[in-house]
Amino acid sequence: MDKSSTPPVRIEVLAGSRPGVVVLKIHGPLEITNFREFEELTRRNESPILIIDLAEVPYIDSAVLGSLVAMHVACARNQRKYALINANQRIQNMLTVSGVGEVLISFATLAAAERSL
């Protein structure tokens, strides 16, 4: 797939329900041709809690999966918390098949993530 045919991705940076919580709400598919902004936002994030809302993401590719694993490692190293929320079945299957489904922290909803983190 060439870059011109990749659907655009839009990222909203939102405040959570309490101080220190940042929510990245992603709109559109995340793949190697369009995930650099997402990767940069997760790398630069210094909030105590980062929540990635995948409700509007139909799919991710292996490059994004690698970015999520890197985010997991960086958060652990810097003693920050994160969670993936609202992942559809296709994304959940990819996480499971790749073997990182049990490593990456995820919740069904924003409320569940904020309660647990």
Say how many C-beta atoms besides its own lie within 10 A of residue 14's C-beta: 12
pTM of the model: 0.92
What is the tally of structural domains in the chain? Answer: 1
For the stretch 20-56, pLDDT in tens is 999 999 999 999 999 999 999 999 999 999 999 999 9
Would you give the distance in Å from CA 105 to the centre of its chain?
Answer: 10
**CATH number reported for the structural domain that contains residue 91 in this entry:** 3.30.750.24
What is the residue whose two structure tokens read 């959940």? 92
Q: What's the domain range around 104?
A: 3-116
Nearest residue to 98 via CA among 55, 65, 57: 65
Buried b (16+ CB within 10 A) or exposed e, 71-103: bbeebeeeebbbbbbbbeeebeebbeeeeeeee
Mean pLDDT over 63-86 rounds to: 96
